[in-house]
């Protein structure tokens, strides 16, 4: 069966639509108004090998918190829906991902129990970009909001750590890559489990 899903989240603050194919090629189609997060979502797709489509709008006149957090929630819900009963998956996965001076570590359990450990020291200074003569910035504190929303909606346990690093850009990007690789492993099919839910309880819902 195809492991695909579509999820729509509309609130007074955000309007987000996500399509996900777990068994994809790592392709991303993104209509997203925050440049740095667009880069992170494309990176996540490429390293997880998930095909992802996201169209998002939000109250950026307030700040980026609502949009980034709700993107995590919507993507996490979409992953949960695409996994279905979790039959035949490996369930757990981990990855160390180096990026220049930075080393990120991610470990995931598709457990049905949402829990996030986020040990990622960031400066809190916005990342500034310039395009067409206009500048924009990314609120680095929203990265934790993204992952907390993702974990809660997906129903997974995730430990995300930066073991060393200097650049906030490198820390965040290495973290997204590590998380993507860990999820690719955890969502992978285990031929020895075939149609079995990998839990003594018989369910990961």
- Whole-number Å distance between alpha carbons of 101 and 48: 22
**What is the chain's mean pLDDT, rounded?**
94
Chain position carrying tokens 């206009």:
134
| Model pTM above 0.75 | yes
Contact 9, 30 (CB under 8 A): no
pLDDT score recorded for residue 202: 75
Domains of the chain: 4-187 (3.30.230.40)
- H runs (alpha helix) in the chain: 35-48, 65-83, 142-154, 168-187
**pLDDT tens sequence across 21-62:** 999 999 999 999 999 999 999 999 999 999 999 999 999 999
Per-residue pLDDT of the chain (205 residues; tens, 9 = 90+): 799 999 999 999 999 999 999 999 999 999 999 999 999 999 999 999 999 999 999 999 999 999 999 999 999 999 999 999 899 899 999 999 999 999 999 999 999 999 999 999 999 999 998 776 556 899 999 999 999 999 999 999 999 999 999 999 999 999 999 999 999 999 999 888 888 888 777 777 7
Residue 156's pLDDT is: 97
Tell me the two tokens of residue 183.
Answer: 């999820």
pLDDT value for 132: 61
Q: What is the pLDDT of residue 133?
A: 57
């Amino acid at each position: 069966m195809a492991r695909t899903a579509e999820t729509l989240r509309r609130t007074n603050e955000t309007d987000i639509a996500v399509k996900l194919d777990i068994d994809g090629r790592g392709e991303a189609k993104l209509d997203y108004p925050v440049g740095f997060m667009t880069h992170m979502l494309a990176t996540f797709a490429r390293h997880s090998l998930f095909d992802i489509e996201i169209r998002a709008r939000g109250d950026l006149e307030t700040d980026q918190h609502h949009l980034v957090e709700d993107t995590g929630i919507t993507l996490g819900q979409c992953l949960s829906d695409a996994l279905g009963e979790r039959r035949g998956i490996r369930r757990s996965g981990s990855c160390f991902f180096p990026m220049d001076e930075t080393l990120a570590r991610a470990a995931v359990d598709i457990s049905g129990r949402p829990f996030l450990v986020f040990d990622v020291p960031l400066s809190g200074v916005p990342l500034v970009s310039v395009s067409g003569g206009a500048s924009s910035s990314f609120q680095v504190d929203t990265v934790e909001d993204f992952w907390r929303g993702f974990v809660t909606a997906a129903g997974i346990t995730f430990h995300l750590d930066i073991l060393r690093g200097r650049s906030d850009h490198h820390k965040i990007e290495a973290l997204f890559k590590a998380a993507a690789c860990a999820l690719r492993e955890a969502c992978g099919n285990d031929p020895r489990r075939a149609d079995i839910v990998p839990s003594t309880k018989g369910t990961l819902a």
